[in-house]
Chains A and B, each alone.
Chain A
């Protein structure tokens, strides 16, 4: 019988490659951030007067919202909560069939940003629920599945028209 000499080359010890990959992972976790920037997107009106759209509006087409220095919310000069504001905006926008409506917003300089943001949030929520309803009723599928032409029609029916008054003293 043969006697084979044992020529086993020892295998590379790979137990530490796991440690190296842990180090890389930890380094990467520490230096990066998983922040997804979420918020309310807005378009400010251009400063140049000529570029702005000039429309004549009558008083009945305007919904007046104001926030005073104590963060109290007033809708058409009546005190209101954010939930009530959402309802009022919904009925106001829905009742103007050809899109001729303006929401005029006035904020005192000493009001807090939080109150302003909640008000903007309530307005956006109202528009969103109106647009969703229209998508379901008119097109039969939810807003996310609407084509571009359908979206344009919905945006034309419910355009976001917010006018903010600038108080610079």
Chain B
């Protein structure tokens, strides 16, 4: 009876893993679509304030303005006075309008028409510095600003 020998030798086949790279590629494409390449690394330490009812800022024509205490390459805080970083360089208040003009000149026309400065300032920054920075922005003609913040998890009362 040669048929019976067939049945005895059957074993469970191993799991076919040929499709696993396809799944990983799918996840990879998902990440490629939802993230942006980080192009500025902050050289100051900052914690933005928290709020609710925040709106998203535009993604083109963005200038990053970080205000906080400076950190060295290892991430340790080295100074006690808050300083200003525009995109990827530390600038002083006097240089700020000129630096903004330079950055504006390097942008495409499309981006320049949608110029927004996102202000990521540490929450303990004295308002005097913020006011001076806003005056410098007005002088440079960058009128759209976005006060960056994180969403607070506390109660949102009626909306």
Give A residues with C-beta under 8 Å from B. 14-15, 17-18, 20-22, 24-25, 28-29, 31-47, 67, 83, 107-118, 120-121, 124-125, 128-129, 132, 166-168
Contact B35 A109 (CB under 8 A): no
Secondary structure at the B interface, as helix, strand, loop or mixed, is mixed
Since A37-B57, A38-B57 are in contact, a sample of 5 more A-B pairs with Cβ atoms closer than 8 Å, ordered by chain A residue number, is: A37-B59, A112-B125, A120-B147, A121-B53, A121-B149
Query: Which residues of chain A come closer than 8 Å to B121, judged between CB atoms?
Result: 113
Point out the residue from A29, A44, A83, A128 that lies within 8 Å of B53, measured CB to CB. A128
Contact A25 B36 (CB under 8 A): no
Contact A28 B31 (CB under 8 A): yes
Contact A43 B135 (CB under 8 A): no
Tell me if B126 counts as interface (CB < 8 A to partner A).
Answer: yes
Contact B124 A37 (CB under 8 A): no
Binds A, one of B4-12, B20-28, B83-91: B20-28
Question: Within the assembled complex, what's the spacing in Å between the Cα atoms of A94 and B52?
Answer: 22
Contact A21 B28 (CB under 8 A): yes
Tell me if B17 counts as interface (CB < 8 A to partner A).
Answer: yes
Question: Within the assembled complex, what's the spacing in Å between the Cα atoms of A107 and B134?
Answer: 13
Contact A25 B27 (CB under 8 A): yes
Query: Which residues of chain B come closer than 8 Å to A125, judged between CB atoms?
Result: 52-53, 157, 159
Query: Which residues of chain A come closer than 8 Å to B52, judged between CB atoms?
Result: 121, 125
Given contacts A22-B24, A46-B138, A113-B123, contact A40 B51 (CB under 8 A): yes
Question: Within the assembled complex, what's the spacing in Å between the Cα atoms of A24 and B32?
Answer: 11
Contact B51 A47 (CB under 8 A): no
Query: Which residues of chain B come closer than 8 Å to A40, judged between CB atoms?
Result: 51, 54-55, 146-147, 149
Contact A32 B37 (CB under 8 A): yes
Contact A128 B159 (CB under 8 A): yes
Question: Within the assembled complex, what's the spacing in Å between the Cα atoms of A115 and B34?
Answer: 33
In the complex, what residue of chain B is closest to A47 when comparing beta carbons?
B138
Point out the residue from B25, B32, B34, B54 that lies within 8 Å of A39, measured CB to CB. B54
Contact B139 A47 (CB under 8 A): yes
Query: Which residues of chain B come closer than 8 Å to A15, judged between CB atoms?
Result: 17
Distance from B71 Cβ to chain A, minimum over Cβ atoms (Å): 17
Query: Which residues of chain A come closer than 8 Å to B131, judged between CB atoms?
Result: 107, 109, 166-168
Contact A18 B17 (CB under 8 A): yes
Question: Within the assembled complex, what's the spacing in Å between the Cα atoms of A19 and B33?
Answer: 22
Contact A110 B138 (CB under 8 A): no
Contact A36 B56 (CB under 8 A): yes
Question: Within the assembled complex, what's the spacing in Å between the Cα atoms of A16 and B21?
Answer: 9
Query: Which residues of chain B come closer than 8 Å to A67, judged between CB atoms?
Result: 127
Query: Which residues of chain A come closer than 8 Å to B123, judged between CB atoms?
Result: 112-114, 117
Tell me if B151 counts as interface (CB < 8 A to partner A).
Answer: yes
Contact A109 B149 (CB under 8 A): no
